[in-house]
């Protein structure tokens, strides 16, 4: 096992979630990597992420349009 080169702080809630999903032989790095890769390979998650990004962009455009109309 290699030494960590970066540390991150997580809340107690996040650590509890990681502990629940962590397998017996996994490091925290392993569980995070597994969960992130699973999320990226899930087509439904990708679709939801793209839709969320599109909604945010649309809301930004709408709020910018409101500012331009008020000027």
Question: pLDDT tens digits, residue range 2-41?
Answer: 666 888 999 999 999 999 999 999 999 999 998 888 766 7
In whole angstroms, give the CA distance from residue 19 to residue 31: 9
In a domain, 1, yes or no: no
Q: Which residue has the higher pLDDT, 4 or 50?
A: 50
- Looking at the structure of the chain, the number of domains it has is 1
In a domain, 3, yes or no: no
In a domain, 44, yes or no: yes
Domain region containing 59: 12-70
In a domain, 42, yes or no: yes
In a domain, 7, yes or no: no
Q: Could you tell me the pLDDT band of residue 44, with boundaries at 50, 70 and 90? A: confident
Helices vs. strands in the chain: H and E counts, helices first = 3, 0
* Residues 32 and 18 sit within 8 Å (Cβ to Cβ): yes
């Amino acid at each position: 096992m290699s030494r960590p080169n970066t540390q991150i702080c997580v809340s107690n809630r996040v650590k509890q979630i990681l502990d629940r999903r962590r397998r017996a032989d996994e490091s925290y790095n392993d569980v995070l990597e597994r969960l992130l890769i699973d999320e990226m390979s899930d087509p439904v998650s990708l679709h939801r992420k793209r839709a969320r990004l599109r909604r945010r962009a649309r809301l930004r455009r709408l709020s910018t349009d409101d500012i331009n109309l008020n000027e």
